[in-house]
Amino acid sequence: MTNSLLHAARKLEQWDLRAPETDRAESATIFRVFQGLSTAADISSTRNCLDRSFIEALSRTTETNINARSMQSALRTLAVLAEVDDVMSSRDAHDLDETWQRLRSREHWMDTGR
């Protein structure tokens, strides 16, 4: 229930919901990132939000008893975070255009991975 609610809220850009901090599910992590980005006051807050999420997702990949489904979820989360990081690290319109081209070039690769 929580996963579908957070997924829907993210798609509707409804950031006023509170994702449980202890929820390590893919939907909760991604929701918290977009929520944090939408309310960040400065680049430092944005960076902290992304860094916390990267650490959370990476820590899941190193769990000793992780199953294939959980690993796939963690890797999908890392992929989303990497793309958000690419966009947020763009310094100007030229960087943003190059980032967009990289994202588009990954599209085929990501579809193959599914």
pLDDT tens-digit map of 42-52: 888 889 989 99
The pLDDT value given to residue 78: 92
pLDDT tens figures, 52-101? 999 999 998 998 888 999 899 898 899 889 989 998 888 899 999 998 99
- Strand, helix or coil for residue 105: helix
Three-class HEC string of 22-72: CCCCHHHHHHHHHHHHHHCCCHHHHHHHHHHHHHHHHHHHCCCCCCHHHHH
- Whole-prediction pTM: 0.79
pLDDT digits (tens, 9 = 90+) for 5-40: 777 777 777 777 777 777 777 888 888 888 888 888
